[in-house]
Every structure is written in C-alpha cells, then in structure tokens.
Chains A and B, each alone.
Chain A
Amino acid sequence: MLGRLWQGRRIPLAWLLLTRQPVRLLVALAGIAFAGILMFMQLGFRDGLFDASVTIHRLFDADLVLISPRSSSSVSMAGFPRRRLVQAMADPAVEGITPVHWNLLLWRNPETRGTRSILTLGFEPGDPLFTDPSLAPKAKLLQDRGRVLFDERSRPEFGPVAEWFRSGRTVESEIGGQRVRVAGLVGLGTSFGADGNLLTSHETYLQLLPNTPPGSIEVGLIRLRPGSDPGAAVERLQRQLPADVTVLTKEGFIAFEQNYWRTSTSIGFIFTLGAAMGFVVGCVIVYQILYSDVSDHLPEYATLMAMGYRLPSLLGVVAREGLLLATFGYLPAYAAGQGLYWLVRNATQLPVTMNTTRALTVFTMILVMCMGSAALAMRRLADADPAEIF
C-alpha cells in the first residue's frame, strides 16, 4: 500500500513553487508566525488571567464551599453566619469544616512604607486549609498573636519580605495600624484580584479587623466523607440551610470566580479581539502571498492545463501550498509562544502556560487562515486560459 503510494507520487510542485522563491517564502512564514504569535499571546493572556483569578481557590482543601449570596467575587466577599457551617456538620456526608475569613487589607511595605492591598485569609491554625500538607507545621507558628505567614510569590511591591526573612531578619510591618510579624513563608501565587497573599489566625484576623461582626465568616470549607457525591450534598445542604448562604462545589466556587471576570469585565472581549486581529492580519498576508504566487505562475498553470492537467489537480497545488505554509508558519509561532509564555510567567507570575487546547486552537486558526486564503487565491486560477498561451 505504502509502496504503491510511493510509486504514485508526483513532482512536489507546491513544495518547489514555495521553496524556489526563498525570500517570498520567508516573508510568508514570518507573517504567519507573527499572526500565530499574536494569537498565542492574546489567548494565553486571556486564559492566564482567568486561571490566575482562581490561584487561591484551587488550593483549598474542600469538597464544598459555602459563601454569602451577596459575594460577587474574591475582591468583594460578603460575610455570612458561621453557624451555617456548623449546621452543615449535621449532614451525614460531611466529615469536616473550616471557617475562613477573607478580605483585602492594606499592607505596609516594610522598606518603602507605602501601602498596598493584600489578600488576607484568617483560619484556626489547627484546621486544614489547603491540600498542600506543608502548611500544617507552619500554621502552628500562627498560634501566637500578631503572627502572619507571607506568600513569597507575592509581587515585589510588598517589599523584600521573603529575602529579609530568609536572611534571618525579623520582618515586621503594619496592617491597618496594627503591628504584625512574619512568622514564615508560604508559596501560593498571585491572582487577578490579589497581588499578594497573607495567612493569619482567626484571632489575629479579628484583631486586624475589629469591626468584623461576631460570628461572621466569608468562606466556609466543607470536606465530605470519601465516596460521597458532592452534587447530591450540594442539593441537600442548599435545601436544609437558610437562604443567607450559597452552597457550591469546589469546581462551582472556581467557576463562580472565573465567571465574574469573564462576564463583569471586558478582559475576555479585549483579548479575544486581539487574537481576532492576529487572525485577520495573517489572512491578509497569506492571501497576498498566495495570490501573487498564482498570478506570477499563471502562464505556467495555463501550460499545465494545455498539457492535460485538470483544474482540480492545479487547485490541489494551491491548497497544498496553503497547507505547507500553515505547517511551517505554525512551528516558529509555537516555539516563540513557549518562549514568550516563559517570559510572561517570570515577569508577572501569571500562570500563562502552553496547553494542548490552545496549541490546537491556534493551529486550527492558522490552518483556516491559510486554506481560506488559498481558496480565494484559487479564483485567480480560473483566469488561466490555456487558449491564451499560444
């Protein structure tokens, strides 16, 4: 079978047409790669930003999450009675709970004395909070008053806290006029709404925010017994608990946050538009290249038709040119995309990474771009009249 295909092969006309004009080919590939890079960047930023909005959400050790129905996103979490979480314990599927305080507080940079808002979570140091087991021993350090765990992956604007701490210095700063001391470092990561993170005990949190209504929390984590169905538990709890709480699965909690950024801001639109621009630019470049290529070779195409080559087989040549351009333009775009993602990760700590879905999306876009342009350029081929070449 393969042997027959090999014997049936023809002169690779599309390949030769492209490669015998190296300058034009390079221009075309540069244009396609540019369009691909633009799409990779815009889509990467978009997905990265949406992903980044839930950096913290993903870390929680929870199957279900209780929040207030008045909460709209991580930057505006409303309180609800802690009693509801205790009530949830009555459900046979619930194994454990963790009440969590959640608010943005003003942190004073210990070096420059400037303030900046930082996401602060307050919890009982003995309670499980994150799935990462390395937190538990550090949480013990929070049992003393006025102690905080600082996220070493916070943006540098919060001050050289991590460096100072590691070099053995006592790092102290101020939150809302209250003195706090850094008791340890954790690695969480920045998110869309928060440039930095801070963990502290329930007690210290109330000290920093004395106006918190008693018995009010912002997030309630619920862990289910192994083998229970989270969906069924959500329904049961939502039915049993009063309307002043919303019950979500962990995925629902993540989706709730992402949905806010997707629908209540223009981020999605802006970056999708950016990617669309890349697509259009690419289309124009490829169309120009293929159209002038067909025009330049029109007498040769007409000659082939006069020799007895059928129009579809010549259209196939143009289609293969489009396919080759798409493939060879995509490869540098993919490589450059990887490189730029790495740069962005280093510069912004945003979780922008290459994933298969995006790699395939961009390839599909480039393919559509090249094949669409080839289809348009083919119309020029219809002008090739073999009777005119004599």
Chain B
Amino acid sequence: MGLDRLESGPAASDVVVQVAGLSHWYGAGAMQRQVLQSVDLAIAPGEVVLLTGPSGCGKTTLLTLVGALRQVQQGSVRVFGEELHGAGRASRQRLRRRIGMIFQGHNLLRCLSAEQNVQMGADLLPGLGYRARRDRAREWLRAVGLGDHLGKLPHDLSGGQKQRVAIARALAARPQLLLADEPTAALDSRSGREVVDLLKGLAREQGCGVLMVTHDPRILDVADRLVQMEDGQLSQGARPIE
C-alpha cells in the first residue's frame, strides 16, 4: 500500500479537514471492491459542506474515515492537522473527542433523560466539575429549544426533538468538526428544516466545520459548499443555488 503523505501546505492550519488522494476498499482478494477513488476534500472552520450522491457511492465511508472510525488504507486524511493514516486506535479515539457526530438514527441512550444524554457529551470535556458539565448540558438543550424537556426519556420525545437532543449532545463536547449522516432522514420537512438551520447556526457560532451527508433536496441551501459523489469519486461544486 502506497504511503503518499502530502506535504502540509501553508494553508494546513486554516483547515479542519484535509483529505488528499484517499482510496478505500472493502473485502479482500477477488471479493475486493473499491469504494473511494483518490478523493480530495478540504473543510474550513465554520464551513458547512454538504455531501450528496446516490446510495452506495461511498459517502458514509468517507464520513467514517474522516471521523477516525476506520483505518485509512491509502491516501491522507488530516483532521486538525493530525494525520490519520497509520494512526493507532488510542490516538483515533482521542481525536474523536473533538469530533461531534450526528447519526441518521438519533442513537440516544434509551435509559438516559434528554439532559443526561447531553451530559454524556459534556462529560468528555476535561477539567469541568459535575455542576459545570450539567449546566452546560442544560444550556445546550435550551439552545436547541428543548429547555422544557430536560427530564424526558428519548421514548417520550418526538423524532425531531430526539434529533435536536442528539445535536445538543454532539455540540456539548465542544467539537471543532461536526459530522452528520442524513440527520433529517427520519424527520418531516418542517422539523428537518428546523434541525439543519439550528445545526448551521450553532456550528457557525462555534467556528466548527460541518460535513453533512444528505439525500434531502429540501435542505441543500444551507450548504456553503455542495460536493457530489459518484462511484467513489468527488466532483466539487461551487456555492449552491440560493
């Protein structure tokens, strides 16, 4: 496997994510199938990048690679200036604490109340006392408009509310990069709209880069940049149509 590390250019400190020449395969031997072909991508702080494309084209794979959830096979993935190619389990784990993730299914902990779920995110912050972390959790829930639902279990919340709790959880860990995989897939158009607007507003406030995979044509306009993927290859778009 080639080790084509890129020289960190002068702009490297200004970007949250710098992907270069990234290729990825699933399976082994005759069953091997390439899902990503020399992908290049950069995300700046506070920038919202939308990734679209037909299902099975490799969007989610790219997301998991940038999210330090998978080993990089070929090419370079730099997150916060740190090279993920060849990074060990422990260093990827450490890096993940700075990346917020929002999943298609909200993936909240069923046994925890909304407040406790968000605090699971805040608990990752080092050096904060219990009260400070709890207050932070409450603040974020208020910020996503759920100040009245602190003690509710996910079971008692609507789909949109659950997704907003998930956003609060992701942001409570003060991430510098937010990865979202079809956050609106399970929502109706109105609450889907609210969720992405909220996401964008809060991310911008925090100066946090966003990479969002979506199929949802109704939310494409929140993007600062639109990126199309087809058969494991990216075609970078300009600013989307307002």
Q: Name A's B-contacting residues (CB within 8 A).
A: 6-11, 13, 16-17, 20-21, 297, 299-300, 303-310, 386-387, 389-390
- Is residue B49 contacting chain A, with contact meaning CB distance below 8 A? no
| Bound: A10/B134 CA distance, A | 10
A residues in contact with B121, CB < 8 Å = 307
**Residue in contact with B112 in the complex, picked from A7, A9, A16, CB distance below 8 Å:** A16
| Bound: A93/B4 CA distance, A | 95
- Is residue B143 contacting chain A, with contact meaning CB distance below 8 A? no
| Bound: A306/B123 CA distance, A | 14
**CB under 8 Å from chain A, chain B span 126-174:** 129-131, 153, 169-170, 173
Query: Across the interface, do B69 and A306 meet the contact criterion of CB distance under 8 Å?
Result: yes
Instruction: Look across to chain A and name the residue whose beta carbon is closest to the beta carbon of B166.
Output: A303
In the complex, per-residue mask of B83-115: 1 if CB is within 8 Å of any chain A CB, else 0: 000000000011011110101110101111000
**Residue in contact with A8 in the complex, picked from B104, B112, B130, B153, CB distance below 8 Å:** B130
With A11-B120, A308-B98 already in contact, 19 other A-B pairs whose C-beta atoms are closer than 8 Å = A6-B130, A7-B129, A11-B119, A11-B123, A13-B109, A13-B111, A13-B112, A17-B111, A20-B153, A21-B111, A299-B105, A303-B109, A306-B69, A307-B121, A307-B124, A307-B169, A308-B96, A386-B69, A387-B64
- Is residue B63 contacting chain A, with contact meaning CB distance below 8 A? yes
Query: Across the interface, do A389 and B107 meet the contact criterion of CB distance under 8 Å?
Result: yes
Query: Across the interface, do A307 and B120 meet the contact criterion of CB distance under 8 Å?
Result: yes
| Bound: A13/B124 CA distance, A | 14
A residues in contact with B129, CB < 8 Å = 7-8
- Is residue B67 contacting chain A, with contact meaning CB distance below 8 A? yes
Instruction: Look across to chain A and name the residue whose beta carbon is closest to the beta carbon of B107.
Output: A303
Q: List 19 interface pairs A-B (beta carbons < 8 Å), by A numbering.
A: A6-B130, A7-B129, A7-B131, A11-B116, A13-B112, A16-B112, A16-B116, A20-B110, A300-B109, A303-B103, A304-B109, A306-B67, A307-B97, A307-B170, A307-B173, A308-B98, A308-B124, A309-B124, A389-B103
Closest chain-A Cβ to B221's Cβ sits at a distance in Å of 24
| Bound: A6/B131 CA distance, A | 10
**Residue in contact with B70 in the complex, picked from A310, A387, A389, CB distance below 8 Å:** A387
- Is residue B181 contacting chain A, with contact meaning CB distance below 8 A? yes
Interface residues on B, range: 35 or more
Sorted nearest first, the 7 A-B pairs with minimum C-beta distance are: A308-B97, A7-B129, A20-B111, A308-B96, A387-B69, A303-B107, A16-B111
Closest chain-A Cβ to B152's Cβ sits at a distance in Å of 13
Q: Name B's A-contacting residues (CB within 8 A).
A: 60, 63-64, 67, 69-70, 93-94, 96-99, 101, 103-105, 107, 109-112, 116, 119-121, 123-124, 129-131, 153, 169-170, 173, 181
**Would A10 and B123 be within 8 Å (CB), given that A306-B101, A389-B103 are in contact?**
yes
A residues in contact with B173, CB < 8 Å = 307-308
Closest chain-A Cβ to B52's Cβ sits at a distance in Å of 16
B residues in contact with A386, CB < 8 Å = 69, 96
Instruction: Look across to chain B and name the residue whose beta carbon is closest to the beta carbon of A309.
Output: B124
The secondary structure that dominates the A interface is helix
Instruction: Look across to chain A and name the residue whose beta carbon is closest to the beta carbon of B182.
Output: A390
Closest chain-A Cβ to B231's Cβ sits at a distance in Å of 19
| Bound: A16/B60 CA distance, A | 32
Output the residue of B101, B105, B173 with the most chain A CB within 10 A: B101
Closest chain-A Cβ to B117's Cβ sits at a distance in Å of 9
Closest chain-A Cβ to B150's Cβ sits at a distance in Å of 14
**Residue in contact with A390 in the complex, picked from B63, B93, B110, B119, CB distance below 8 Å:** B63
B residues in contact with A299, CB < 8 Å = 105, 107
Closest chain-B Cβ to A267's Cβ sits at a distance in Å of 47
| Bound: A299/B109 CA distance, A | 9
**Would A390 and B60 be within 8 Å (CB), given that A8-B129, A9-B130, A17-B111 are in contact?**
yes
Output the residue of A7, A303, A308 with the most chain B CB within 10 A: A308
Closest chain-A Cβ to B61's Cβ sits at a distance in Å of 9
| Bound: A305/B67 CA distance, A | 12
B residues in contact with A8, CB < 8 Å = 129-130
**Residue in contact with A300 in the complex, picked from B63, B67, B99, B110, CB distance below 8 Å:** B110
